[in-house]
Structure 1
Amino acid sequence: MRHRDFRWFVIGAAAGQFGAQVTLIVLPLVAVFVLHASAFQVSLLTAVETSAFLLIALPAGVWVDRVRRLPVLIRADVARATAMGSVPLAAASGLLTMAQLYAVALVTGIATVFFDIAHQSCLPRLLRPDQLVAGNGMLEAVRSSAQVAGPGLGGGLVQLMGAPMAFVADALGYLVSALCLRRIRTAEPPPEAASGIRLHARVTEALMFILRNPVLRAIALTSAVANLFATMLLSVQTVFLVRVLQLKPGALGLVLSTSALGGLAGALVAGAIARAVGQARVMWLVTLATGPFALLWPLAGRGAAAAWFALGSGAVSFGAVVYNVAQVSFRQSMCPDHLLGRMNASMRFMVWGTMPLGGLAGGFAASAAGVRAAVWVCAVGFLLAPIPLLCSPLRRLRDLPVAQRGDGPPVISGQHPEGC
């Protein structure tokens, strides 16, 4: 039963990720080609979509811990499908504006906050703790596969059908995800009863759970820095590829799809690499080894030289996926269930809360110094991400602390100190 339900969970994730990856390319292309938006207006779309993690992630985590998580996933998918479906309708009637795109980005971002918190909190109920690394590896493979296929298909749809109509594929992806999630039959335990503890106290409990753990604290800082500069790149990459490198929508999709091959490769080998070098060591080692490839982003040029952008993104994506499989599996296995939603929400707040700031920073940098200069800032800043890991106990460990999900802290055993 559990394996059957996990299969539906993965299929739903594939459909939802497909829609999300098409959105990633189609939303800014609508702004650029249909509404002729400036670089700052395009980057503001990214800032608006990710702002929900900064604004509501913490209370959303408290709420998710008080309800059954599967219905949250389904309702979030339906909300995202509805928002995406409004774009072709508005375009067909000649009413599409940047204001509507910002509204769609905001609604999608809010729904994604609840979906992501509940999604990470559902997996430990479908799999045993010793299956989490493999399960997260499979989900990362699904996400990376969508990153390979989605942008290429999205660019092709924009070129063949026009940017607004490509949103139909986004909406369908989210609806299929909702239908797959409804097939899951694993019984969820009754949600935690509301207590007299105030909201700020419950939020503080989850934040302190992260901040008092040196491993979680280092993971949060590294992820926050990486997301800041990765989102800064995301906010300007469409303008960079279209207006600086002069790529057509189909070629742009091909570049982004090729970039995602690195993430797919990372998902396929993440478990093997972690076993070979250690789950602790792999996190700082892979980020340190792949981070310098970010410098290839601003070195890309027109024509065949656009391949440098794809190569840099592919290497960075490989490292990010291997890192994510290791750190997410650790978080899920060592956190008590009653705190899982709030812990995931607090982590999302800390590591994704930098994303709207990155979106705004990308827009300001592109407006002030030019798009290529903004990409240089993204690349150089990305090199800072491994520093918190290197300054943490992880640098002296081969494997992470043995995780025991319960009410107490993780038990430290089986560690292999390395270095000073």
Structure 2
Amino acid sequence: MSAPSATELKPGHGGLGKDFLRLWQSYTVSAAGSALSVGALPLIAIMVLDASPLQVSLLAAIGAISSAIIALPLGNLVERSEKRATMAIADLLQFAALAGVPLAAALDALTYPQLCVVAIVQTSCTIVNSAASQAYIKHVVAPELRTSANARLDTVNWTTQSAGPPAGGALIGVAGPLVTLIVDAVSFLASAVLLRRLTRFPAGKAKEGRSRRELLAGWTFILGHGGLRPLYLNAMLFGGAIMWSSPIMAVVMLKDMGATPLEYGIALGVPCLGGLLGATLSPKTVTLLGVQRALLVFGAARTIWIIPMAFVGPGPSAVLAITSIDFFLLLCAGIFNPIFATYRMNSTPDGLMARVGTAWSVSSRTIQPLFITLGGMVATASTSRRSLLIAGVLCLGSAPFLPWRGRLPGDVHEPAPRNPADRSGAAG
């Protein structure tokens, strides 16, 4: 079976192709379900199993670290697998894992180890699905439209992150966390059904086997690429610093600033609109500035915002100040992320797409819990504001790894689409 090229596929909404539109619809359904159930597993551990604070913390850590170990050999398997089937299987596994929790609870058979397994399955399948979907997008979307495609996916992320947690919190308050988990499970089942409409294309040509060389091929390529290597270090340091600051910011707002839970929820949700706006502006930004300048300008701009947060004092204006600062941070990140995702996609050979994506995800999910732990230790040893300030310095320290000098390897300025309708795909 020969694979259809991007130019052979019939155009769909926004000129991105019908297969991308179908993938986007599937992604939207599962992302919405996941956003509604954010925090449901810890709540179930607490409310149903009466788990201790240590057990709740370990639930997150076990899920992140174990899934990273499991996902490592999966990269090569995903590379050799048909991507539509891989994404559907990952969705079905998540459906089964999540649906098993309320079923076990109804039978009074739910255990803490089962929740740990669910956390591992969730994170592992997310890594696999992301790697397969990026490979699929590269296959079906023309190069000049990939920033619009990645921006369109990011608009889903920012929209669900903004609206999902408050709606999920309300649903938990009315029906309990088990119901939100059912909704999340059904969303993955619906996503798997929607994926059946995608065009199949042959499996990749990655070598079989689990040799060290094949397992580490993603990292080998990233670290050997003159453009991706510094951006990889930038992403790990920036993402780690952001995760360091997140729980510390909660302590600072709720304890030091005296914010109410409602005000804290507003400060979390409203800035996501900045990310949504940024993702919408991303395709036009890369057309105006080019890939290298856009990555440099907005990559640097997104690093400056945590430090001011450490100096916001208590009072009525504190929540407004934090919300405004976070809005601009996410605005810059919203512009940067789709451009970077496209650059990584264009720079990676087809036969390495899944392994590079898996390597990137595994690195993030391994490093970020370490940063969160360090942030808590620093806050315990000194103060929460000092820990937040250190996170800001680390975030700023990621800027030197941006493309400051010379031509970015593989930087191809993306021309504006000939059909004005092509741009509308990025608007989400």
Q: TM-score, normalised by structure 2?
A: 0.80
The reply on whether 1:263 has 2:275 as its aligned counterpart is: yes
Partner residue of 1:395 out of 384, 404, 413:
404
Query: How far apart are the structure 1 equivalents of 2:228 and 2:345?
Result: 11
Alignment of 1:211-360 (within 5 A): 211-234=223-246, 247-248=260-261, 253-298=265-310, 299=312, 305-360=318-373
Query: How far did residue 87 of structure 1 move?
Result: 3.7
The answer to whether the Cα contact below 8 Å between 1:65 and 1:340 also exists between their aligned partners in 2 is yes
The answer to whether the Cα contact below 8 Å between 1:220 and 1:351 also exists between their aligned partners in 2 is no
Residues 310-319 or 335-344, more deviating: 310-319
1:327-385 Cα offsets, whole Å, 9 max, x none, are: 11012123221122122222333344312323433454455556665544433432222
The reply on whether 1:64 has 2:73 as its aligned counterpart is: no
Per the alignment, do residues 27 and 67 of structure 1 end up closer, same or farther by CA in structure 2, a change over 3 Å counting? same
Query: How far did residue 120 of structure 1 move?
Result: 1.2
Per the alignment, do residues 72 and 253 of structure 1 end up closer, same or farther by CA in structure 2, a change over 3 Å counting? farther
Query: How far did residue 265 of structure 1 move?
Result: 0.8
The answer to whether the Cα contact below 8 Å between 1:80 and 1:111 also exists between their aligned partners in 2 is yes
The answer to whether the Cα contact below 8 Å between 2:76 and 2:206 also exists between their aligned partners in 1 is no
Query: How far apart are the structure 2 equivalents of 1:128 and 1:192?
Result: 21
The answer to whether the Cα contact below 8 Å between 2:272 and 2:330 also exists between their aligned partners in 1 is yes
Residues 124-133 or 45-54, more deviating: 45-54
The answer to whether the Cα contact below 8 Å between 2:68 and 2:124 also exists between their aligned partners in 1 is no
The reply on whether 1:378 has 2:387 as its aligned counterpart is: no
Per the alignment, do residues 39 and 260 of structure 1 end up closer, same or farther by CA in structure 2, a change over 3 Å counting? farther
1:294 partner letter = I
Per the alignment, do residues 23 and 145 of structure 1 end up closer, same or farther by CA in structure 2, a change over 3 Å counting? same
1:284 partner letter = L
Partner residue of 1:159 out of 167, 170, 173:
173
For 1:130, the equivalent position in structure 2 comes to 144
Secondary structure, counterpart of 2:335 in structure 1: helix
Query: How far did residue 65 of structure 1 move?
Result: 1.0
For 1:411, the equivalent position in structure 2 comes to none
1:106 partner letter = I
1:266 partner letter = G
Query: How far apart are the structure 2 equivalents of 1:95 and 1:301?
Result: 46
Query: How far apart are the structure 1 equivalents of 2:164 and 2:216?
Result: 38
Query: How far did residue 161 of structure 1 move?
Result: 2.3
Query: How far apart are the structure 2 equivalents of 1:130 and 1:223?
Result: 24
Query: How far apart are the structure 2 equivalents of 1:329 and 1:212?
Result: 19
Query: How far apart are the structure 2 equivalents of 1:302 and 1:102?
Result: 40
Query: How far did residue 402 of structure 1 move?
Result: 4.2
The answer to whether the Cα contact below 8 Å between 1:124 and 1:132 also exists between their aligned partners in 2 is yes
For 1:146, the equivalent position in structure 2 comes to 160
Query: How far apart are the structure 1 equivalents of 2:136 and 2:367?
Result: 25
The answer to whether the Cα contact below 8 Å between 2:79 and 2:206 also exists between their aligned partners in 1 is no
Secondary structure, counterpart of 2:303 in structure 1: helix
The answer to whether the Cα contact below 8 Å between 2:33 and 2:183 also exists between their aligned partners in 1 is yes
The answer to whether the Cα contact below 8 Å between 1:224 and 1:354 also exists between their aligned partners in 2 is yes
Secondary structure, counterpart of 1:291 in structure 2: coil
Residues 70-79 or 204-213, more deviating: 204-213
Residues 157-166 or 207-216, more deviating: 157-166
The answer to whether the Cα contact below 8 Å between 1:44 and 1:360 also exists between their aligned partners in 2 is no
Alignment gaps of 5+ in structure 1: 405-420
For 1:416, the equivalent position in structure 2 comes to none
Partner residue of 2:33 out of 6, 10, 19:
19
Query: How far did residue 106 of structure 1 move?
Result: 1.7
Per the alignment, do residues 233 and 162 of structure 1 end up closer, same or farther by CA in structure 2, a change over 3 Å counting? farther
Per the alignment, do residues 209 and 131 of structure 1 end up closer, same or farther by CA in structure 2, a change over 3 Å counting? same
1:172-207 Cα offsets, whole Å, 9 max, x none, are: 2222222221221x2312442745x75212234433
The answer to whether the Cα contact below 8 Å between 1:41 and 1:363 also exists between their aligned partners in 2 is no
Query: How far apart are the structure 1 equivalents of 2:305 and 2:398?
Result: 13
Query: How far apart are the structure 1 equivalents of 2:315 and 2:105?
Result: 31
Query: How far did residue 91 of structure 1 move?
Result: 4.9
Alignment gaps of 5+ in structure 2: 1-8, 11-16, 414-428
Per the alignment, do residues 142 and 310 of structure 1 end up closer, same or farther by CA in structure 2, a change over 3 Å counting? same
Query: How far apart are the structure 1 equivalents of 2:18 and 2:382?
Result: 53
For 2:212, the equivalent position in structure 1 comes to 200
Query: How far apart are the structure 1 equivalents of 2:24 and 2:302?
Result: 28
For 2:132, the equivalent position in structure 1 comes to 118
Query: How far apart are the structure 1 equivalents of 2:386 and 2:213?
Result: 43
Query: How far apart are the structure 1 equivalents of 2:78 and 2:101?
Result: 29
2:182 partner letter = V
1:245-298 Cα offsets, whole Å, 9 max, x none, are: 5644x6654432212111101100011122222211222221322322223555
Query: How far apart are the structure 2 equivalents of 1:27 and 1:302?
Result: 34
Residues 285-294 or 22-31, more deviating: 22-31
The answer to whether the Cα contact below 8 Å between 1:15 and 1:173 also exists between their aligned partners in 2 is yes
Query: How far did residue 108 of structure 1 move?
Result: 0.9
Secondary structure, counterpart of 1:183 in structure 2: coil
Query: How far did residue 7 of structure 1 move?
Result: 1.0
